[in-house]
């Protein structure tokens, strides 16, 4: 499959660069940098990445076939593509809702997605991805990081790995373009749910509004892409992003 990959030695942020070039490039254009001076993570955090050791890139897509209300499909397609890529490295990964990638209890990949709407459809999405590849040690206080080299004992050529990773995501993306919409959403949603971190297990969570800690299991994702947690007493509640925190060390 044809891919347009733009490599940069240094950028402030690949997401920023994708935004700057949004109107000049085609669907599924990739912006990759050996180093970002202002790499962004969720919640306004920066993404730690040693220069030239990891994949830091953004994918610009123009998914006019996806309704605005179904924008979470982009997260599902991307995370499943990354899980499939890691599986080919004999790494079993899971998706920590909404879109972090974990290996056991360690984070190997972070994703930041920005959507742009055109009427009732998505006009564009910028998908920023940071995948730890060849970095062995991490200096920041990020919780439990890991990398491909730490999981496999092997180092990899970044440009080749970017092509393989993008191909894995692109395969699902283009499949979505030509698949019956209702069937696609159902199948992708089911596959995403089956790969969720902590699925079908009781774990501890914290309600960020009340600071209450409680034990629950993930029972699904609602139509607004919120996480549905079921407590041991059977009570279910949906939580939006930032309304719930995983307690990883209890």
pLDDT value at 22 more than 90? yes
β-sheet bridge partners, residue 59? 30, 127
Task: Domain 203-246: give its CATH code.
Answer: 2.30.30.140
25-63 in b/e burial notation, b at 16+ Cβ within 10 A?
A: eeebbbbbbbbbeebbbbeeeebbbeeebbbbbbbbbbb
Please tell me the predicted confidence (pLDDT) of residue 43. Answer: 47
- As a residue count, the chain comes to 250
Could you tell me whether strands 4-11 and 29-36 are parallel, antiparallel, or unpaired per DSSP bridges? parallel
Residue 136 confidence (pLDDT): 92
pLDDT digits (tens, 9 = 90+) for 181-190: 788 888 999 9
74 pLDDT higher than 80: yes
Per-residue model confidence (pLDDT) at position 166: 97
Interval 104-121 mean pLDDT: 94
Give the CA dihedral 195, 198, 202, 205, nearest 10 degrees: -130
117 Ramachandran zone, left/alpha/beta (phi>0; psi -120 to 50): beta
Q: Is residue 149 within 8 Å of 136, Cβ to Cβ?
A: yes
Strand stretches in 143-212, DSSP E: 203-207
pLDDT (mean) for 113-135: 95
Share of the chain above pLDDT 70, in %: 92
- At the fourth CATH level, the homologous superfamily of domain 4-194 is Bira Bifunctional Protein; Domain 2 (3.30.930.10)
Close Cβ partners of 73 (under 8 Å, ≥ 6 residues apart): 66, 176, 184, 185, 188
Question: Distances in Å between the alpha carbon of 19 and those of 124, 127, 243?
Answer: 10, 11, 28
pLDDT exceeds cutoff 70 at 42: no
pLDDT at 129: 97
End-to-end, the C-alpha distance of the chain in Å comes to 45
Cα 71–chain centre separation: 13
Query: pLDDT confidence of 48, banded at 50, 70, 90?
Result: low
Alpha-carbon span 26 to 22, nearest angstrom: 8
Give the separation between CA 134 and CA 158, rounded to whole angstroms: 9
pTM across the whole model: 0.93
Q: What is the mean pLDDT of the chain?
A: 91
Q: In the chain, which segments carry CATH 2.30.30.140?
A: 203-246
């Amino acid at each position: 499959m044809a891919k347009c990959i733009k490599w940069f030695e240094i950028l402030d942020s690949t997401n920023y660069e994708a935004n700057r070039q949004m109107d000049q490039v085609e669907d599924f254009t990739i912006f990759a940098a050996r180093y970002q001076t202002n790499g962004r993570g969720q919640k306004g955090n920066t993404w730690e990445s040693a220069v030239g050791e990891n994949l830091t890139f953004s994918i610009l897509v123009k998914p006019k076939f996806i309704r605005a209300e179904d924008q979470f499909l982009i997260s599902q397609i991307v995370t499943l593509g990354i899980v499939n890529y890691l599986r080919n490295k004999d790494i079993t990964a899971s998706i920590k809702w909404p879109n972090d990638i974990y290996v056991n209890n360690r984070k190997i990949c972070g994703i930041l997605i920005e959507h742009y709407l055109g009427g009732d459809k998505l006009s564009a999405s910028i998908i920023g991805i940071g995948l730890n590849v060849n970095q062995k040690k991490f200096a920041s206080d990020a919780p439990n990081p890991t990398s491909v080299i730490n999981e496999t004992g092997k180092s990899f050529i970044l440009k080749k790995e970017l092509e393989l990773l993008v191909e894995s995501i692109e395969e699902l993306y283009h499949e979505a373009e030509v698949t019956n919409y209702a069937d696609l959403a159902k199948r992708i949603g089911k596959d995403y749910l089956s790969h969720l971190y902590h699925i079908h297990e009781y774990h501890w969570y914290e309600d960020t509004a009340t600071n209450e800690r409680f034990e629950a299991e993930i029972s699904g994702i609602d139509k607004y892409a919120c996480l549905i947690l079921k407590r041991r007493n059977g009570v279910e509640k949906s939580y939006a992003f930032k309304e719930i925190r995983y307690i990883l060390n209890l």
